[in-house]
Chain A
């Protein structure tokens, strides 16, 4: 069975490009432009990995992380941000984020992080 990956970023290109690259790796990918619609989708479908942007209008990345960890503790969360701020990174770590990537994101590193997380999850 294919692993499900969700990408949340208000920059449409991030979702589009990551989707193309990750689908090539054999993942099933869905993209969202805001936290709210993403969380709504999670109620209907479970995802193995959620990749979310930090700074978004409305529900931001940290809130997505907290919600996911609270409701779906098995789901892995990876965070990306355009403006890396140490305080936010520390807060995210505390909430059990898998990885924290500053923009510009290296897709190879992202792929490696996803792979590692899934292997760990599979045990």
Chain B
């Protein structure tokens, strides 16, 4: 069932419940009104009956003839009242009680009439009259008492019913909201988890069959989106790859063209000025050609290193040991450039599983860049730390040099990208990137102009790649 329909249904149930409660309350109020009206009437009647009995007593005590007339008048008046309010009284106490009352009143009237017509001295008749009067009064009073009790009963009854209805409404609301929250909440949690995974680049989808409600529709939409994103990302990666091949080809053309042009110009000039050249000068020309050829060879070698990477020769290694080896290799450069070095190495680090030669190449490369980015007196910071959550080892190489402008930052891993005034091939970071990726590691850079640059390189621990050798 759709959530929309569930909400409609719950609202309908609530409305029906409230309507029932309302009808019930209205009915009870009506009943109470009738009963109260009757007790008011009954009070009047009772007063009438009481007056009849008082007159009756007067008659018996003082033989007062007027008293009998007073009783008759009272009886007539009461009869008229009862006739007038017949429907109200019947509604309140039922036709039987009305008939009983009428019957008793008639009886009483008959007695009074009998006495009036001369049977007054018969002791039997006096007793009968007294009994009829008493009977009438008691019957009337009983009805009144009973009705008062009924009123109390109706009020109690209403109280109970209203209390139960209140709990029924509350419980139903609780049950329904709980149910809705659980079904929406569960789906939302799944969606949140999924979107988190997607934002981390993990394009999985929710496998369980989506429900038929709106949340199911949302999950289906998100699944579709995840699949689309996955496809898009692959397309982007593909186009980036093509673009970087384009950059590579352009770079290769430029890099190869310069030494080729040099060789060509040397050859042309050699021919031009041959007659004016001495032996030494001719040899110098040829040496220059040799140097340019060497330059070409180096570019090609670097390219081949990257395009046909050698299978790394992996072995378990201590991260801090690799850092010390790096420092051994660059210590001359540090000394010449007058750079201070700050080491901040974690005491406890898991081993990692790497080709030490290649990782040294990466670290030396990045450290060399850092040294070249700083002027004399700069500070190089090298840190190692363990990222427990990812089970990875992280190296941080930070300089306080001139930093990389933001517009260059996204290109620093591109082939042939260099900001060095001279002598940079623009391949160092590109090659480093490839090596790190081959080790299932990651490399990223943070830099601000004049604030320096920090490279962060992470490698999985040997444990994470299941290559730990525990035979120590």
Chain A residues packing against B (C-beta within 8 Å): 10-11, 13-14, 17-18, 20-21, 24, 55, 57, 82-83, 103-108
Contacts and interface: CB of A to CB of B under 8 A. Distances in A.
A83 to B, nearest CB: 4
Contacts of B272: 20-21, 24, 107
A14 B262 contact: yes
Interface in B264-290: 264-266, 268-269, 272-273, 276, 288
Contacts of A103: 257-258, 260-261, 264
Residue among A14, A17, A82, A105 with max Cβ neighbours from chain B (10 Å) = A17
Contact of B269 (A21, A57, A104): A21
B457 to A, nearest CB: 28
Contact of A104 (B253, B257, B288, B421): B257
A106 B264 CA distance: 8
Q: Kindly list the 8 A-B residue pairs having the minimum CB-CB distance in the complex, ordered from nearest.
A: A103-B261, A104-B264, A82-B257, A17-B265, A17-B269, A13-B262, A83-B254, A104-B261
A18 B265 CA distance: 8
B388 interface: no
Q: Does more than half of chain B's interface fall in helix, strand or loop, or is it mixed?
A: helix
B207 interface: no
A13 B269 CA distance: 11
A13 B265 contact: yes
Residue among A20, A83, A107 with max Cβ neighbours from chain B (10 Å) = A20
21 contacts: A11-B261, A11-B262, A14-B262, A17-B262, A17-B265, A18-B269, A20-B273, A24-B276, A55-B254, A57-B422, A82-B253, A103-B258, A103-B261, A104-B257, A104-B263, A104-B264, A105-B264, A106-B268, A107-B265, A107-B268, A107-B272
A55 B265 CA distance: 18
B250 interface: yes
B160 to A, nearest CB: 91
A43 B364 CA distance: 43
Contacts, number: 61
B261 A14 contact: yes
A83 B257 contact: yes
Nearest to A80: B261
Nearest to A58: B421
B420 to A, nearest CB: 8
B147 interface: no
A56 B262 CA distance: 16
B391 interface: no
B141 interface: no
B421 A105 contact: no
A13 B250 contact: no
A24 B269 CA distance: 10
Nearest to A108: B268
Contacts of B257: 82-83, 103-104
Residue among A11, A18, A103, A105 with max Cβ neighbours from chain B (10 Å) = A103
A11 B266 CA distance: 12
Contact of B261 (A21, A55, A105, A108): A105
Nearest to A13: B262
Given A21-B268, A105-B265, A13 B288 contact: yes
Nearest to A19: B269
B253 A83 contact: yes
Nearest to B266: A17
A21 B273 contact: yes
A18 B266 CA distance: 9
Interface string B26-37: 000000000000
A57 B418 CA distance: 10
Interface in B63-80: none
Interface string B289-314: 00010000000000000000000000
A119 to B, nearest CB: 21
Interface string B149-160: 000000000000
B269 A107 contact: yes
B422 A10 contact: yes
A82 B268 contact: no
Nearest to B424: A57
B259 to A, nearest CB: 8
